[in-house]
Amino acid sequence: MKVSVLQESLAHGLSIVSRAVSSRSTLPVLSNILLATDEGRLRLSATNLELGIICWIGAKIEEEGATTVPARIFNDLVNTLEGQQQIELSLTLRTQTLNVRSKASNTNIKCIDATEFPPMPTIDINEGIYLPISTFKEMIQQVVFASSNDEARPVLTGVLVNGEGKKISLSAADGFRLSRSVTELLEPLPEPISAIVPARTLSELARIVSDGEQTMNMQIPNERNQVIFTVGPSEEIQGIQVISQLIEGTYPNVDQVIPKSYQTRAILSTSGLLKACRQAEIFARQSNNIVRINILPGSDENMGKVEISGQSDESGSHQSEMEASIEGNGLLIAFNVRFLREALEVIKTPNLVLETTANTSPGAIYPAGDTNFVHVIMPMHLGN
């Protein structure tokens, strides 16, 4: 293998695929990145056997070939080299030594034969469905934080992807809260889809794709328990593929969790409530993260108001008050302030809606004027 590549392109590609490098594997090759020539491009690949990322970058190919290079060493080396310069990569096949040469630098790195690297799937991007990247990234950000970290319930560490007709939805839950985001596709799905994608996969996908790209392709091959996302070329990258194992199991029925009615409905400022929650959290985090929401209806002359308070026996207490448009009965309810704050942080509209039925029933939060996103949060015990 003999390749010439721009330092900036190589560094950017390595930053993408390094997200899938295994850090605790008994297989040494999984700590490496596969470098391979591929139709006039350089292909970088990494996998931990659950998540795989492939990235293609532009390169001048003088001699075809492939090898796997230690991810950390190679990444650190490339990042120390100056930008806007060509890096020459040359592999001595007999000794599996990769020579990395730039203007004033000459390095030899011991590699592992490319034949030991796990095979990565090949797909036809003419199949699958196309999703608008900016919309799908926003959907991911609206739900992944609600997924569970408890490996004892693996299905809840994933995000349920459902699609039928022209609608696709993402849902995540951890037993205490649920987030669901829905969008409409440009073209109807050829057949319904339902899969549980690891939340980490979607988080990495949202992190590595840029808003400049228009669409991405998603495929869930019937013969494999995998999902494959493919993103087209951008200014620095000639293509990205994210391959992930799906989570097997039955996801809870999210439709049963979302409240269908309410007794109290408050419309209030998103930024105002978020600021109040952040202030209350300073004290609430020392007392099981409990924040109290006191919804007080107004009168014909006066607006209603919502009081947000958090307290700690050791540190003190905080209370904020804000005006709100309130429909229905007054209510005092308690939530986990971190759960509430994380939901508010992904709502982009100026105002939001909070609907509740009783202080022992879940509350529903969604952007005012937009029911495509909803967050359901279980209440906490009010105590004394």
DSSP annotation string for 20-66: G--SS-SSGGGGEEEEEEETTEEEEEEE-SSEEEEEEEE-EEEE--E
Task: Tell me 112's DSSP state.
Answer: B
* 130 has pLDDT over 90: no
Name the strands in the sheet holding 177-184, side by side, starting at the edge strand that comes first in the sequence. 193-198, 158-164, 167-173, 177-184, 373-377, 363-367, 351-356, 264-269, 316-328, 304-312, 290-296, 331-336
* 308 has pLDDT over 60: yes
What stretches of the chain show up as alpha helix (H) in DSSP? 7-17, 71-80, 133-143, 199-208, 254-257, 270-284, 337-344
User: Which numeric CATH code is attached to 258-377?
Assistant: 3.10.150.10
* 383 has pLDDT over 70: no
The pLDDT of residue 236: 67
The CATH 3.10.150.10 domain(s) of the chain lie at: 2-116, 129-255, 258-377
Please check whether residue 357 is in contact with residue 264, taking contact to mean a CB–CB distance below 8 angstroms.
yes
Chain mean pLDDT for the chain = 92
The pLDDT of residue 78: 95
> What confidence tens digit (pLDDT) does each residue in 77-103 have?
999 998 778 999 999 999 999 999 998
Helical axes 133-143 vs 199-208, angle rounded to 10°: 140
* Nearby residues of 222 by Cβ (< 8 Å), 6 or more positions away: none
User: What band does 237 get if pLDDT is binned at 50, 70 and 90?
Assistant: confident
> What confidence tens digit (pLDDT) does each residue in 35-57 have?
999 989 999 999 999 999 999 99
> What confidence tens digit (pLDDT) does each residue in 140-194 have?
999 999 999 998 899 999 999 999 999 999 999 999 999 999 999 888 888 899 9
* Nearby residues of 223 by Cβ (< 8 Å), 6 or more positions away: none
User: What band does 3 get if pLDDT is binned at 50, 70 and 90?
Assistant: very high
pTM: 0.91
User: What band does 301 get if pLDDT is binned at 50, 70 and 90?
Assistant: confident
User: Which numeric CATH code is attached to 2-116?
Assistant: 3.10.150.10
Share of the chain above pLDDT 70, in %: 97
The pLDDT of residue 48: 93
User: What band does 125 get if pLDDT is binned at 50, 70 and 90?
Assistant: low
Length of the chain (residues): 384
The pLDDT of residue 26: 82
Task: Tell me 116's DSSP state.
Answer: G
* Nearby residues of 4 by Cβ (< 8 Å), 6 or more positions away: 59, 60, 62, 86, 87, 88, 89
The mean pLDDT value for 320-328 works out to 95
Query: What does the buried/exposed string (b/e) look like for 76-93 if buried means 16 or more CB atoms within 10 Å of the residue's CB?
Result: ebbeebeeeeebebbbee
Superfamily of domain 129-255 in CATH is: DNA Polymerase III, subunit A, domain 2 (3.10.150.10)
User: What band does 212 get if pLDDT is binned at 50, 70 and 90?
Assistant: low
The pLDDT of residue 261: 93
The pLDDT of residue 104: 86
Strand, coil or helix: what is 166?
coil
Please check whether residue 198 is in contact with residue 51, taking contact to mean a CB–CB distance below 8 angstroms.
yes
Backbone torsions φ then ψ of 302, nearest 5 degrees? -125, 145
The identity of residue 257, as a single letter, is V
Please check whether residue 158 is in contact with residue 248, taking contact to mean a CB–CB distance below 8 angstroms.
no
Share of the chain above pLDDT 90, in %: 78
Radius of gyration over alpha carbons of the chain, in Å? Answer: 25
User: What band does 384 get if pLDDT is binned at 50, 70 and 90?
Assistant: low
